[in-house]
Amino acid sequence: MERNLRQYMTSEEFAEVIENLLEKGFKPPLYFCAIAVNGSMDMGSFDRIGKTNDLKANFVAQYSTGDLHALPIHLLFVDTEGLAARVVIEGAGEPQIIH
């Protein structure tokens, strides 16, 4: 991945992952924790913008080992209803959603 994780998670490419979770019944806010194999981490949520269906990423905590997030990166998503999913970002391929 050429960009850092925050840039990637707010890109159009990653929006498909969020849309897929919403189609599976997840309800915002979606809380996440991203952990890279080098120990770098990001935590936050995807929240609705006002009363629209648009979501905005809010990053609330980060730990960096000094390097960018090394691949693969594992993300855990949970919603307020108790649904959970793991998303894996590896190399140049599409993120995989593992339920």
Q: Which helix (H) or strand (E) holds 15?
A: helix 12-23
Walk across the sheet containing 84-89 and list its strands: 55-63, 41-48, 30-36, 73-79, 84-89, 96-98
Reported confidence tier of residue 28, pLDDT bands at 50, 70, 90: very high
CA distances from 87 to 16, 36, 52, 66, 84 (A): 12, 12, 25, 23, 10
Task: Say if CB 11 and CB 69 are below 8 A apart.
Answer: no
pLDDT at residue 12 greater than cutoff 70? yes
Convert the pLDDT of each residue in 45-96 to its tens digit. 999 998 888 899 999 999 888 767 888 889 999 999 999 999 998 876 678 8
Which sequence spans correspond to the domains of the chain?
A: 5-98
Q: Across the chain, which distance is largest between two alpha carbons, in Å? A: 38
Task: Say if CB 44 and CB 29 are below 8 A apart.
Answer: no
Query: Residue 64 has what pLDDT?
Result: 84
pTM recorded for the entire structure: 0.88
